[in-house]
Amino acid sequence: MGDKIRNVLFICFGNTARSPAAEGIAKALKRDKCIEELHDVSFDSAGFFNVYKTAQPETKQYLKDNWDIDFSDFKGKIMDKDLLDKQDLILAMQSRHLKRLRRKFKDVDNLMDKAHLLLEFAGEEGDFDIEDPVNLTPGEYEQIIKTVEQGVIKSIEKIIEINSEK
């Protein structure tokens, strides 16, 4: 990553739980805490498929309760070459997402240079895979979203640090 990070894409399988949560949290941090540092950084999310067309109710509720973000109008999107081409940083929730990216989007320049696991990019320790919370208990679901949240917070700190050095 030679240039500043201006476009960040969070990806998961269906763009209904983890990646919308990451997008919402990043936008809330930009709005509330890092206004100046992130003024020229945009955040988005996408999936390989979009089963539900919108964010999961639990994700929308978590964003509302914890970040004062209304994601009721969120529309999931499916990634394509154009979306991936314009990203400076792609943060995936699971290693199998990176493998699928590599297989499906061979024609995207520098794809594997800009695609990372969220928790690995954030500098976390241990298992970097964040499992899909859909169909888990409310407590398990919330714990997974909190893991996403922690990864996003630390990733934002790293993005600010990288951009301040450029």
Please enumerate in sequence order all residues whose Cβ is within 8 A of that of 81, keeping only pairs 6 or more positions apart, or say none: 105, 107, 108
Which residue ranges make up each domain of the chain? 7-165
Place of tokens 């914890």: 66
- What is the structure's pLDDT at 34? 82
Q: What is the pTM of this model?
A: 0.93
Q: How do residues 89-103 score in pLDDT, each as one tens digit?
A: 999 999 999 999 999
Architecture of the domain delimited by 7-165 = 3-Layer(aba) Sandwich (3.40)
Helices 57-67 + 18-32 axis angle, to 10: 20
Q: Tell me which amino acid residue 105 is.
A: F
Q: Indicate the average pLDDT of the chain.
A: 91
